[in-house]
Every structure is written in structure tokens, then in C-alpha cells.
Amino acid sequence: MTEMKALLRFPGERKIALTDCPIPAPGKNAVLVKTACSVISPGTEFTQANQTHASLLQKAWQRPDLVALTLKHLKSEGFGRTRARVENRLGRPMPMGYCAVGRVEATGENVTDLKAGQRVAIAGMGQANHAKWNQVSVNLACPVPDAVPDRKAVFATLYALALHALRQGETSIGDRVAVIGAGLIGQLVSEAAHVAGALVAVIEPDLSRRKIATRESRAADFAKASDAPQSRFDSVYICAPGKGNHRLIDDAARLCRDRGTIICVGDVTPNGRRKALYEKEITIRQVRSYGPGRYDPNYEERGEDYPLGHVRWTIKRNMQAALDLMADERLDPTPLITSEIDFADIADHFTKGPDPAQLATLVRYRYAENVPLKPHAPSALTSKPARDHVRVGLIGAGSYLGGGLLPLLQKHPKVEITACCSQSGLAAVALSKKIDGLRMYGGADELLEDQSVNSVIITTRHDSHAELAAASILAGKNVWLEKPIAIDRAGLDLLREATDRTPRHIFMVGHNRRYAPMAAKLRDALPTGVKQFHYRVRISPLPDDHWLHHSDEGGRTIGEISHFIDLIMSLVDSELNELNCYWIDRAAGDSIWQLRFADGSMGEVSYLHGNRGEPKEVLEVTAPNFLASLFDWKKLRVNGRIVLRNWLGQDKGQAAAIKAFAGAVLSGERPALMPSIEDEINLMARILMAANTANAQTPN
């Protein structure tokens, strides 16, 4: 196990600290970079620091959408579960920094254009962090020319932002440009505009900043907008902080010529008096970070580039242009470095607060020795009864685990959570603050080598489920795998192969609904013979950038539908003969699934987007002289009588499922209610076949 230091902010504790973290393993489309230096951008990063120190009420005011989501969970899940969700979210640390430079130490399997030992400039919040090691998407890592030293290359990300701003303003040779604000970003925009051949004027009240901006007669300078010539400029770039400040737009409008352009580079409220905007027919444009590709998960996470002929200037191409211009000595950020600190002192730097005299602070990283990265060699261990305790390693520690499963695992007297790994390592850090002695790993390979771990719980993204489960089986671990167990046939084959190569072990899928108290009550009440099940599931839309929309994640329906099919199967004491899917809107996931059993029983799951306020799940069971309804896991009615009610929220069976898994691991015996791994594989195979062969029509 290898660890590093990273600068993290902890919203729940309202502090910023240099913290021990596991060194992350590079993902398939990423590289692992050993940081040489990073740069602190005071405007953005001290704003983040202030947000971290804000009270809970101030945070709620800043994010009313999260407050609304919390109230929704409170209504459906009750106080205890909602509190766990909030604590999990606030307890998760957030990295700081977004521009750095270093050397590639390892590459993901899909990375072909970067190699170990290569110097790269790296970009992006959550990726190019103030940390000794960073896992960075291949599209946010750019090779550094030999002629550019690290102290200059570290500015590639910030220059990319400036270049993208100029492209938004369509600035060209001979244009007259005004830059309002000569902070770090304003300095870079004015310098880049000068190099592009524009005639630049800088408006900044601070004399020392004006002197830096006007060095070598690069720009004219004015202390305030009223001193600059009016109606003169083709473009006005607002690089001063102006959230809620309408005067910035008004000042920029007065400076613009007829049909000029205002470009909002910083956090500027794009509001102003209509008169000047209307009479001059001024265009207002926003700058979205470093260029096309930003906030696109296909570009940033999956490493998919935009074709050059369609998108000339992406994030990476802007970074490369900046590095080339630095190599050609046309751009030089050195005068902007107003202080330098060692990485060990970075937390103190933020504790002191912003210094108005500072522009960029260069952070230097020192290493006593190289940290070895050891390869993983999976061991073929035999899974044996744990006898005393279930010693759990968590693979993945997202919101569902932290806010749902974790509190229940901690309550079980025979479960010890001993190790954890997560994609970035930050979720593992959050858990280490809740669980004494927790060992943090940078990847699943390291965790699976831990001989003290006898069981793993896998709650990662869906495309990794089968591969991680197969590796866990081969490592001799008992496995709890969240649904779906696979998203394609290749994943199922991987699981079958792993199962065939190892002795019997406990393998459980997180189909918790079959273990719920209401499901048990309903099961006991069901009559023998033919029954009809109608399961209405109403889903809410996901954000457009949600990871479940990625094509390689299998889609939302494949990720969730097995929950509901499994519950019906657990209530029918008969073999499933037929499973059919009818797509209503495959892209959205809307579908109807029909089940036919050997005893003549039938089931239907209508999995559709619903109206706001509708219950998510309603299950109705009918048979001769029998009617039961399960209403959103809050109320169970059988033949007109309420037999079970959850007053404090929903109980979907997670606690009972954990109890069943722990009991199976301790005894080495699978309980009757727990399907075998062969049954789980066969069910998922039928779901995939039904989904892929379904037509686009609703059933008759």
C-alpha cells in the first residue's frame, strides 16, 4: 500500500488540510502523473476555500437544488437514511487545484499517445490537483516541449483558458481590446491578445498589476473604466470578479464600439442597463473554462477526442498551442509568479487568506525517494468460512454505499470494514475518518492482495462490475456485487470462467428487495397456484451528463431492471419460462417487461418515467380471492387490511440483505433465499437477450 499527500477541503469539518491519500491507479483512459509543480490561481481557489469555511446555512443558500433533493429524500426515506446521505456528502473531501505539470509514471490500457517518463502539463479540477500524484484523463494531459521548463509549463491550463476567451471574442490582428481586471487571468488574456496582434488596454485600479500588464509597452493602462476612451473597443474582456455587480457590464458597454462584443471570462453576472446594450447592439458571450471538451464526460473521462476538422481548438489543443508559444518565447508567464512555496506549506498558505499583492503562487514538490508502483499478481486462494468476523474490503465508495449500505454495515456486530479503494481515492479518505484503522488502497488490485480481507463489497460503476467481481472470485474473496452483475455477454462469460476456476464461495448480488420485511410478509401471505404481478416503477429524469447515459455503462434500464424482476421471481415458487422486453423509448429507458412462469403465473414490470410526486414503486398481486398491494415500501395491504406500515421511511431490505450475506460468509452456507451465482448469471443473460431482441412497440 502506497500513500501520498494531497491538499483537500472538508466541507463537513469546514477545513482545508494536507492529507494522506492512496496513490490512484490510472483508469483505462488516463495516466498517472507524478507532480513536479502546480500553480495556485488565487481568484478561483480562494473562493473555494471560502466556500469550505462557510456555515451549513450559507452552503444551503449557495446550493438550493441540493436542499430540495435532501427534502425529497427526507420525505421518502425518513430522517435516519437522509441524515446518513447528508453526512456522507459533507464528509467527502474535495481536491483543490486545477493546473500542474509532472511526469507520466503509468498509463491506462487505452492510452497510446503518452508514455511513462514523458513530461506533461495537466488540467482540470478533480484531476490536476495539488497532490503528489494525479490520475488525469488522456485528453487533459499535454506533452511539454523540451524548451519549456516546468515553472512555465505549469501555466498551460491557465493560458488555455485565455486562448479560449480570445476565440470566443474572435479577436484578431489589429483589433482594439480592453481587459477589465488585471488579476492572474486578466494578465494572461491581455498578454495573449497582444501576441495575437491586438491593441490592448488594461483597466485595473492596482498600480503594481498595471505595471506588470504593460511591461515592454504591451498595453495601455487605465485605473478605471471611466478613464478609458468610450465606444472605442471591438471587444471588452471582463476578467474581474463581478457576481451580482451590474456595473461591470455597464462599463464594458460604454467602452464597446457599435456592435462590439463583451466577453465574460470570470464569474460575472451578465446583466446591465438595456440602453447602451440595445443602442450599440452589443453581443455578450460567456467563456466556459479552457475550451471545447470541458464538462463533456466523453471527452474528459472516456478519452474521446473531437475530430480536428470539426472542432479546431479543444482543451488539449489550446494547451498545446500555449506550450508551443512558450517554447517560441512569445508567451512568458514568469513575471506573474509573485511567490513560491513548498508543497508542505500549501495548507498554511490558504489559512492565511488571499494577499491582494499576489498573482500566481508556484508550488514546488520535493521527493525524498521514488515511490515504487508494484504490479498486482492475483492469488488463487480458497474461500473458507470466516468463523469470527466478516472482514470487508470496499471496492467503490460512492453515494449509495456511503449513504445507504455503510451505516448498516457498521451496525452489524460481526462485520469489520478493514479496507477500501475508490477511483480517485478521495471517498476512501472520507471513510478513513469514520472508521478507525481503515486501510486505503489506490486500486482494487492492491486491495485484493490484502490477506486479512475475506469479503468484498463492489459498488463501482456498472461497466466495471463483472471484471472486478471475477478478479475478487479468483482472489478467493466472498463477493457482494451491486446490480447489474454485467452489462454484456462478455462480462457474463468472464464471471462464468472465474467461477469454474475456483472452489465454491459466497456470491451475492445486491438484490435487497427480496430480503425486505414487506417482501417476507407478502411472501407468507401469497396463496398457492397461479398469480398475477403488476409492478409499476416510475423513474425520474437523470441529468444529461449523468454517467449512466454513457453508452459503455449499459444504460439505466439494464442497470436497474433486475431489481424488480428478481423481486417477482422471489415471490413465485416456480421456474421462469419466458422473459420479454418491449421498448417504448429505448434511449430514455421506458420499457415494459413480461414474465411467464411454469405454474402459469405472470408478471409485468412497467419501467417508465413518471410525473413528479408519483410513488416510485407500486406492486400489485392478484389471484382468485386475493389482492395485495405494496406501496413504495411504506405500506403493505393484503385483502383490504394493512399488515405492515413503515412510518419512518422506506425499508427496501438492505439491512436484512447484509445480515443474510454476513451469515452466509460466517457459516460458509448459502441460505435458501439467496440465488446461486449460476442463477444470477442466467437471469442477467436473459435480461440482456430480451433487451437486445425487443421491438419498439408496446405489447398488445
Q: 397-412, pLDDT tens digit by residue?
A: 887 887 789 989 999 9
3-state SS of 112-148 is CCCCCCCEEEEECCCCCCCECEEEEEHHHEEECCCCC
Q: 438-450, pLDDT tens digit by residue?
A: 999 988 999 999 9
Nearest by Cα to 606 from 530, 483, 699: 699
Q: Does residue 89 register a pLDDT over 70?
A: no
Q: 19-32, pLDDT tens digit by residue?
A: 988 898 888 999 99
**Number of CB atoms found within 10 A of residue 229's CB:** 13
**Number of CB atoms found within 10 A of residue 552's CB:** 14
Mean pLDDT of 36-56: 79
Question: pLDDT grade, residue 325 (50/70/90)?
Answer: very high
Output the pTM of the full model: 0.84
Mean pLDDT of 503-525: 95
The Cα 73–Cα 13 span in angstroms is 23
User: What percentage of the chain reaches a pLDDT higher than 70?
Assistant: 89
Span of 207-211, 452-456, 587-591, 695-699 with lowest mean pLDDT: 695-699
Using DSSP bridges, classify how beta strands 30-40 and 99-107 pair: parallel, antiparallel or unpaired: antiparallel
Q: Does residue 382 register a pLDDT over 60?
A: no
- The predicted pLDDT at position 447 comes to 95
- The predicted pLDDT at position 392 comes to 97
Mean pLDDT of 654-675: 96
Q: Give the contacts of 318 (CB within 8 A, at least 6 positions apart).
A: 159, 160, 163, 164, 290, 291
Contact 322, 163 (CB under 8 A): yes
Query: What does each C-alpha distance from 564 to 28, 249, 441, 605, 684 come to in angstroms?
Result: 32, 54, 34, 7, 12
- The predicted pLDDT at position 92 comes to 73
Nearest by Cα to 271 from 256, 284, 288: 284
Question: pLDDT grade, residue 335 (50/70/90)?
Answer: very high
Question: pLDDT grade, residue 700 (50/70/90)?
Answer: very low
User: What percentage of the chain reaches a pLDDT higher than 90?
Assistant: 70
Q: Does residue 293 register a pLDDT over 50?
A: yes
The Cα 538–Cα 590 span in angstroms is 9
Q: Does residue 512 register a pLDDT over 90?
A: yes
Q: Does residue 1 register a pLDDT over 60?
A: no
- The predicted pLDDT at position 153 comes to 98
- The predicted pLDDT at position 696 comes to 47
The Cα 105–Cα 120 span in angstroms is 11
**Cell 397461479 sits at which residue?**
530
- The predicted pLDDT at position 211 comes to 94
Span of 129-138, 199-208, 354-363, 689-698 with lowest mean pLDDT: 689-698
Q: 568-598, pLDDT tens digit by residue?
A: 999 998 999 999 999 999 989 999 999 999 9
Q: 155-179, pLDDT tens digit by residue?
A: 999 999 999 999 999 999 999 999 9
C-alpha cell at 463: 461497466
Task: Please provide the DSSP assignment of 478-504 as one string.
Answer: EEEEPSPS-SSHHHHHHHHHHHHHS--
Question: pLDDT grade, residue 498 (50/70/90)?
Answer: very high
359, amino acid identity: L
User: How far is Cα of residue 4 from the mean position of the Cα atoms in its chain?
Assistant: 21
C-alpha cell at 213: 500588464
Which segments of 526-575 does DSSP mark as H helices, in order? Answer: 556-571
Q: 93-127, pLDDT tens digit by residue?
A: 889 999 999 999 999 999 999 999 999 999 999 89
- The predicted pLDDT at position 77 comes to 59
User: What mean pLDDT value characterizes the chain?
Assistant: 89
Q: Give the contacts of 38 (CB within 8 A, at least 6 positions apart).
A: 97, 99, 100, 101, 128, 129, 130, 154, 343, 363, 365
277, amino acid identity: L
- The predicted pLDDT at position 482 comes to 96
- The predicted pLDDT at position 386 comes to 52
Using DSSP bridges, classify how beta strands 233-238 and 176-180 pair: parallel, antiparallel or unpaired: parallel
Cβ-count burial 653-673 (b if 16+ within 10 Å, e if not):
bbbbbbbbbbbbbbeeebeee
Q: Does residue 675 register a pLDDT over 90?
A: yes
Residue 268 is given by DSSP the state B
Query: What does each C-alpha distance from 311 to 317, 545, 550 come to in angstroms?
Result: 10, 20, 21
Let me know if 365 is exposed, middle or buried by CB neighbors in 10 A (0-12, 13-18, 19+): buried
- The predicted pLDDT at position 72 comes to 60
C-alpha cell at 462: 456498472
- The predicted pLDDT at position 352 comes to 83
Q: Does residue 423 register a pLDDT over 60?
A: yes
Q: 251-269, pLDDT tens digit by residue?
A: 999 999 999 999 999 888 8
